[in-house]
Amino acid sequence: MRVFKSVYGCAGVLILVVAAGVAALAQEAPEVGPKAPLAVKPMQSHVGSMTGHAAAAKSDYRRYCAGCHGDYGDSNGENAVWLDPKPRDFTIATFKCRSTPTGTLPTDEDLFNTIGRGVTNSNMPIWNALGPQMRADLVAYIKIFSPRWEKEKAGEPIKIPAEPPVTIESIAHGKALFTKLECWKCHGLHGEGDGPSAATLTDSKDLPIRPYNFAAGKNDSRFKCGDTNQDLYKIFMTGLDGTPMPSFADVIQPNDAWDLVHFLRTLQVNRHGKENEVLSAAHGVIPPYVEKTPAPAAAPSDNKSPGGGN
């Protein structure tokens, strides 16, 4: 009898506990909680020899990404309201960090690199802890949110010419371009993000946006889209789509762009790099840039060069 009571006592309590669990699980989900997942289209990505599959990333997207980017990729995750800047809206398929011309879709590798690199000055972490295949799958998953990926192909990556040597002249030319192209209007004369237009800038979703402050940060100062000179070159030759930062590809020549890169690096005053070394060697003074006038066509002359024969 004692055993009988004990068994039923246990069973009763177990039922209570399970019932409590079921009741708890049946609570209405909070408004900020997960929604029904989107149907996964069979999108793919191709990064190197890897092929990413959207279906394989469904769970990882919920685990790592949806909190900010939202279950529907519309940047309305439960954290989005607290974030500044706001997370990327995948439904419009507009991306800042690309190797492709402005207005075009990025390559799969661009997105893959962004995930692994993170985005400085934002809440986007460095996700290089995720395996490459997982990141490739996530790239494919991102594509399910916008029909653009089904209608358009990624743009052709821009060509980046070899970087010329850093000289005080290239820095001086870059500074002249910085003025001529009116970069200072947003970024400020000293690149501190405090130009006269800075306070008025908004992104493509009419949200306030701040221009990059080159002077902030320490030696590890990074840009949103990387930390190499090539990355910086790409930024103003492709533009940061969705932001006021335009592409200058139609305005400046490749070598001029490199000069601008060299000057912008000197605005990162805390960075130890060859640009600041060259500037230090010039005692911190950037000489005025003298526009090189094209050499006049050689006038006919009767003078013969020395040693010239007939």
Partner 1 sequence: MRMWAQSHLCQKPQRTPSVLAAAFALAFLILGAGQSASAFPAFARKYGLRCSACHESWPMLNYFGQKFKDNGYQLMNDRDAPIWQNNGYWPVTFRFTPFWSRESTNKVATDQSPTGQQKLTATGFSFGGLDILSGGTLEKNISFLFVPSSDETGAFHFESANVRFDNLLHSPWFNVKVGKFELDSFISEKRELNLSANGATYQLFHFIPVGDGNIFGQLGDNQLAVEWMGHSYNDRTRISITAFNSVDGSPDRPYGQNSYSWFIAGSQAFNTGKLGVQRVGGYAVLGQAATTYATSGGAPVTGSGVGNKDFYRVGFEGLFYLGPKLDFQVFTQHGSDSAWFGQGYGDFIDNPTGVCQSATGPQPCNNTPGTQLIPGARRPTWNGAFVETHVVWHPQFTIFQRSEWVRMSQQSTPGTPSNLGDIDNYVIGYRYNPFMTSRAGFAFHNEFSWLRQRGTAPDGISDLSTNSLMAGFDFAF
| 52 backbone dihedrals φ, ψ, rounded to 5° | -95, 145
Question: Is residue 1 involved in binding partner 1 (CB under 8 A)?
Answer: no
The DSSP bridge pattern shows strands 44-47 and 50-53 to be antiparallel
CA distance 310 to 306: 11
Q: Which stretch binds partner 1 (CB under 8 A): 53-61, 99-107, 183-191, 238-246?
A: 53-61
Question: Is residue 35 involved in binding partner 1 (CB under 8 A)?
Answer: no
CA distance 167 to 263: 10
Question: Is residue 21 involved in binding partner 1 (CB under 8 A)?
Answer: yes
Tokens 């460095």 sit at which residue? 126
Question: Is residue 36 involved in binding partner 1 (CB under 8 A)?
Answer: no
The encoded tokens of residue 303 equal 């003078």
Per the DSSP assignment, residues forming a β-bridge with 51 are 46
Smallest CA-to-CA distance from 97 within 112, 77, 79 is with 112
Least distance from partner 1 to the Cβ atom of residue 33, Å? 5
- The answer to whether 260 and 177 are in contact (CB under 8 A) is yes
Interface pick for partner 1 out of 2, 5, 29, 308 (rule CB under 8 A): 29
Question: Is residue 306 involved in binding partner 1 (CB under 8 A)?
Answer: no
Q: Of 74 and 169, which CB lies nearer to partner 1 in the complex structure? A: 74
Smallest CA-to-CA distance from 76 within 137, 140, 32 is with 32
Question: Element (H or E) spanning 52, and its range?
Answer: strand 50-53
Residues 130-149 that bind partner 1 (CB under 8 A): 130-134
Interface pick for partner 1 out of 48, 103, 125, 164 (rule CB under 8 A): 125
CA distance 5 to 204: 69
Interface pick for partner 1 out of 13, 199, 207, 290 (rule CB under 8 A): 13
- The answer to whether 130 and 60 are in contact (CB under 8 A) is yes
Interface pick for partner 1 out of 43, 47, 67, 261 (rule CB under 8 A): 67
The encoded tokens of residue 248 equal 């200058």
Q: Of 22 and 162, which CB lies nearer to partner 1 in the complex structure? A: 22
Tokens 């005692």 sit at which residue? 283
Interface pick for partner 1 out of 40, 44, 78, 192 (rule CB under 8 A): 78
Question: Is residue 40 involved in binding partner 1 (CB under 8 A)?
Answer: no
Question: Is residue 127 involved in binding partner 1 (CB under 8 A)?
Answer: yes
Q: Of 28 and 291, which CB lies nearer to partner 1 in the complex structure? A: 28
For the packed helices 168-180 and 274-281, what is the interaxial angle rounded to 10 degrees?
100
Smallest CA-to-CA distance from 144 within 32, 63, 69 is with 69
Question: Is residue 123 involved in binding partner 1 (CB under 8 A)?
Answer: yes
Residues 182-221 that bind partner 1 (CB under 8 A): 217, 219-220
Least distance from partner 1 to the Cβ atom of residue 103, Å? 29
Q: Site size for partner 1, by CB under 8 A?
A: 49
Question: Is residue 85 involved in binding partner 1 (CB under 8 A)?
Answer: no
Tokens 């221009």 sit at which residue? 211
**Chain residues that interact with partner 1, rule: CB under 8 A:** 6, 9-10, 13-14, 16-18, 21, 24-25, 27, 29-30, 32-34, 56, 59-60, 62-64, 66-68, 78-79, 82-83, 118, 120-134, 217, 219-220
